[in-house]
């Protein structure tokens, strides 16, 4: 029997419908938010795969085109590979729920969020996030929820919650945050809400505003959490029992005795490859010595060693106040950078921070190079592209090269968002910009190296950016009351730490951020301290970038296309294009330029050859030139009539040459003097209000004699 539970959420009704569809899933929910409807299902296998000691979790968010009353494009006319929004939303849900499964839960689990209907008022990603939590809550799958997501903006000085996408364009920030219920609450409240995941972008917003926005969002999710509690109490299944994993104390003691000395030595080595070589040799020796040929025992030993490594690293930082590479908690790794490293790229940079290295190249194109982003909510033409690549050799691995994965797409999207607020407008800089970041070596914070390298490549390319952006990855280690916030974290610190908080921005404020939290107890004080420390690090890095290149180059690369814009009247667009594209093809074939014509009459001409561009501009102006009274033109007779001839004086522009204006002497027939196809010199006598043109040959001849 189905049940429906409803509540007011950000001024609109949200409903959860249970036991209505997908009855064979462990948990299924239909979420209604306005006319946006999302089906979320959760399924977890009943037995764990042998040898698996982690949670094999998959999250898939998919948008069906019928949800917006559309038919997919392409030959097959059906939904294909996930687009960028689907991938990023899948990541948001995954990163939010993954830390909330029990540590010992190793059963393969899949969540599928399918958008069935969408309106332009209510975000499907917010709806899917609530549905993901609700599907797990109602199921028998162990889960430390409920959680809920909300989109926070700030418009005209006021925070707003889940505003329509069109309205959010006016917002100075756009933060998607997810919070969870924590009991007991403080100040007499039954529960508190605590941040689980956050990501967003902003227009150089101060840290204090971000804190206020987070607090606003955490308060706003309460109705969605209360609704799930109500649903769970009425319709939830009993959770699966979990086998308590009892550690083999004797085995732990033996492994510790054999491994600790070598592991401690390994973590005293600051260079990654040397450290990993030492740790691998210790691991292999202990596993072989104790585990022998027993595969299951070897797995247990490997898990114990991994926990020992985590303990050693955390103890070094929290108790000994020492990081692997000898830095203090707020220190940044050594930074070096170069620009102009690729002679033919329109802009390029090589950015090094510690053992992380990014080669970033920039290409300038025209409006024809813009990327068309087709979502069920509408289309977007994107003139700034940023692609992040993480080849296997950057971490010393040998693997097949494949198309970008979810992580690479996510990192690229974050870096792109961080740079957008400082880019010039299309009117100021009418180029399509593509940045590609190749990570050549990685030891943590490669996405933030992409931000820094991307900023340098923009300035090297002569893009007139408004400010300099840098990015930094912050970490956190928390043991009881002891809290250590780390700046510019290494890969090992990310793995063993409790938080990954990427912050990008200028000296003025934040432009983008992304936070994942693995523990409970992230207080406002910790968050405020992390943002303050991140700003100090960010400003330091910006200083280093300025030492490499202080401002954008005064001109673009010699190899980049020069773009010239010509404005014509809207009714002249057809003339420029010509019948079947004849005129525009002729301009391109004769000059070699790239030319784009917009419906509003904007003609964009691009060429790396200045002379060719000038010829193309002259041809466009000639095509769209208007008849000028008193001016003499060399025209072509297009048609003979009894009372005169129609002469084309400009492309597509004809005037009447009356029989009385053909010659000084009187003539009886037009054909006595002219025939179709003749070239004839004429003078414009008049252009009336209807645009009709009166011509004279005899006055043109008289002027020519003078």
Interval 522-534: pLDDT, tens: 899 999 999 999 9
Our CA dihedral for 487, 388, 370, 88, rounded to 10 degrees, sits at -80
Q: What confidence score (pLDDT) does residue 375 get? A: 85
Contacts of 107 (CB under 8 A, 6+ apart): 44, 45, 46, 47, 48, 55, 56
Start-end of H helices in 499-654: 524-548, 573-577, 582-591, 610-624
Residue 647: count of CB within 10 angstroms of its CB: 26
Give me the mean pLDDT over the 292-317 stretch. 92
The DSSP symbol for 48 reads P
Q: Cβ(299)–Cβ(287) under 8 Å? A: no
Q: Cβ(272)–Cβ(445) under 8 Å? A: no
54: pLDDT strictly greater than 60 = yes
178-198 residue pLDDT tens: 999 988 877 778 889 999 999
Mean pLDDT over the full length of the chain: 93
- Strand-pairing partners, residue 650, are 653
316: pLDDT strictly greater than 90 = yes
Give me the mean pLDDT over the 30-55 stretch. 92
Entry field: residues in the chain: 706
- Strand-pairing partners, residue 193, are 181
Residue 641: count of CB within 10 angstroms of its CB: 11
Which domains, and CATH codes, for the chain?
3-235 (3.30.230.70), 249-318 (1.10.10.400), 335-478+524-548 (3.30.230.70), 562-624 (3.30.1370.10), 632-705 (2.40.50.140)
705: pLDDT strictly greater than 50 = no
The secondary element (H helix, E strand) that includes residue 29 is: strand 27-33
Gap between the Cα atoms of 496 and 416, Å rounded: 28
227-253 residue pLDDT tens: 999 999 999 999 999 887 778 899 999
Q: How many helices (H) and strands (E) does the chain have?
A: 16, 29
SS3 content of the chain, % helix, strand, coil (to 5): 35, 30, 35
Contacts of 605 (CB under 8 A, 6+ apart): 563, 564, 565, 566, 593, 594, 595, 613, 616, 617, 620
Nearest to 36 by CA among 56, 60, 19, 12: 12
Gyration radius from the chain CA atoms: 33
704: pLDDT confidence band, cut at 50, 70 and 90?
low
Q: What confidence score (pLDDT) does residue 379 get? A: 83
534-589 residue pLDDT tens: 999 999 999 999 999 999 999 999 899 988 888 988 888 988 998 899 999 999 99
3 state DSSP class of 169: coil
User: Both ends of the chain: CA-CA distance in Å?
Assistant: 100
Gap between the Cα atoms of 434 and 453, Å rounded: 13
The secondary element (H helix, E strand) that includes residue 321 is: none
Gap between the Cα atoms of 697 and 682, Å rounded: 5
Q: Phi and psi (nearest 5°) for 554?
A: -70, -20
Q: What confidence score (pLDDT) does residue 460 get? A: 98
3 state DSSP class of 551: coil
Give me the mean pLDDT over the 436-458 stretch. 98
706: pLDDT strictly greater than 70 = no
The secondary element (H helix, E strand) that includes residue 544 is: helix 524-548
3 state DSSP class of 308: helix
Question: What is the pTM assigned to this prediction?
Answer: 0.88
- Strand-pairing partners, residue 338, are 350
Start-end of H helices in 236-266: 249-266
HSE-CB for 516 with a 13 A CA cutoff: 16
3 state DSSP class of 120: coil
389-446 residue pLDDT tens: 999 999 999 999 999 999 999 999 999 999 999 999 998 999 999 999 999 999 999 9
Gap between the Cα atoms of 468 and 455, Å rounded: 7
Gap between the Cα atoms of 454 and 472, Å rounded: 14
- What distances in angstroms separate CA 468 from CA 76, 191, 413, 418, 488, one per listed residue? 45, 42, 18, 11, 18
Strand order of the β-sheet with 594-597 is 562-567, 602-607, 594-597
95-151 residue pLDDT tens: 999 999 998 899 999 999 999 999 989 999 999 999 999 999 999 999 998 999 999
Give me the mean pLDDT over the 270-274 stretch. 93
Give me the mean pLDDT over the 199-212 stretch. 98
339-389 residue pLDDT tens: 999 999 999 999 999 999 999 999 999 888 999 988 887 888 999 999 999
628: pLDDT confidence band, cut at 50, 70 and 90?
confident
């Amino acid at each position: 029997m189905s049940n429906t539970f409803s509540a007011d959420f950000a001024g609109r009704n949200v409903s959860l419908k249970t036991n209505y569809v997908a009855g064979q899933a462990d948990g299924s929910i239909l979420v209604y938010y306005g006319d946006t409807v999302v089906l979320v299902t959760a399924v977890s296998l009943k037995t764990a795969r042998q040898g698996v000691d982690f949670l094999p979790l998959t999250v898939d968010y998919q948008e069906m085109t019928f949800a917006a009353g559309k038919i997919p494009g392409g030959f097959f006319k059906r939904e294909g590979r996930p687009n960028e929004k689907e991938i990023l939303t899948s990541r948001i849900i995954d990163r939010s729920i993954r830390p909330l499964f029990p540590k010992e839960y190793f059963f393969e689990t899949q969540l599928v969020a399918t958008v069935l209907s969408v309106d332009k008022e209510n975000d499907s990603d917010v709806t899917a996030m609530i549905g993901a939590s609700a599907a797990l809550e109602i199921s028998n799958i162990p889960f430390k929820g409920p959680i809920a997501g909300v989109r926070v903006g700030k418009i005209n000085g006021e925070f707003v919650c889940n505003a329509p996408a069109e309205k959010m364009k006016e917002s100075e920030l756009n933060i998607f945050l997810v919070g969870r219920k924590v009991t007991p609450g403080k100040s007499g409240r039954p529960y508190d809400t605590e941040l689980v995941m956050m990501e967003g972008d902003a227009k150089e917003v101060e840290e204090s505003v971000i804190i206020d926005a987070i607090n606003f969002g955490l308060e706003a999710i309460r109705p969605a959490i209360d609704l799930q509690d109500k649903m769970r109490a009425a319709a939830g299944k009993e959770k699966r029992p979990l086998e308590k994993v009892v550690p083999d104390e004797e085995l732990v003691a033996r492994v510790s005795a054999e491994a600790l000395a070598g592991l401690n030595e390994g973590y005293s080595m600051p260079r990654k490859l040397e450290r990993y070589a030492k740790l691998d040799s210790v691991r292999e020796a202990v596993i072989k010595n104790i585990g022998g040929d027993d595969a299951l025992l070897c797995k247990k030993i490997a898990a114990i060693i991994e926990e020992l490594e985590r303990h050693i690293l955390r103890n070094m930082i929290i108790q000994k106040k020492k990081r692997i590479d000898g830095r203090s908690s707020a220190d940044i790794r050594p930074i070096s950078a170069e620009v102009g490293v690729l002679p033919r790229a329109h802009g390029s940079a090589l950015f090094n921070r510690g053992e992380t290295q990014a080669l970033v190249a920039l290409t300038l194109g025209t409006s024809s190079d813009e990327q068309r982003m087709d979502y069920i909510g509408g289309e977007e033409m994107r003139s700034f592209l940023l692609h992040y690549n993480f080849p296997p050799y950057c971490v010393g691995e040998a693997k097949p090269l494949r198309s970008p994965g979810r992580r690479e797409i996510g990192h690229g999207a974050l870096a792109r968002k961080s740079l957008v607020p400082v880019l010039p407008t299309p009117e100021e800089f009418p180029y399509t910009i593509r940045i590609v970041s190749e990570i050549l070596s990685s030891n943590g914070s490669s996405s933030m190296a992409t931000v820094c390298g991307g900023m340098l490549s923009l300035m090297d390319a002569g893009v007139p950016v408004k400010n300099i952006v840098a990015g930094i990855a912050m970490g956190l280690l928390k043991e009881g009351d002891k809290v250590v916030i780390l700046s510019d974290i290494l890969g090992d610190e990310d793995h063993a730490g409790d938080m990954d908080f990427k912050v990008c921005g200028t000296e003025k404020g934040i432009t983008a951020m992304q936070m994942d939290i693995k523990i409970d107890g992230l207080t406002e004080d910790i968050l405020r301290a992390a943002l303050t420390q991140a700003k100090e690090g960010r400003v330091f890095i910006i200083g280093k970038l300025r030492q490499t290149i202080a401002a954008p180059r005064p001109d673009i690369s010699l190899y980049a296309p020069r773009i010239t814009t010509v404005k014509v009247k809207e009714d002249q667009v057809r003339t420029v294009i010509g019948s079947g594209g004849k005129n525009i093809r002729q301009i391109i074939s004769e000059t070699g330029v790239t030319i784009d014509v917009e419906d509003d009459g904007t003609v964009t001409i691009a060429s790396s050859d200045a002379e060719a561009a000038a010829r193309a501009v002259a041809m466009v102006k000639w095509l769209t030139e208007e008849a000028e009274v008193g001016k003499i033109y060399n025209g072509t007779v297009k048609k003979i009539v009894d009372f005169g001839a129609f002469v084309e004086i400009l492309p597509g522009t004809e005037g009447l040459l009356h029989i009385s204006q053909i010659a000084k002497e009187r003539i009886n027939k037009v054909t006595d003097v002219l025939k179709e196809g003749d070239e004839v010199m004429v003078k414009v006598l008049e252009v009336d209000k209807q645009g009709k043109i009166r011509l004279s040959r005899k006055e043109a001849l008289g002027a020519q004699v003078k």
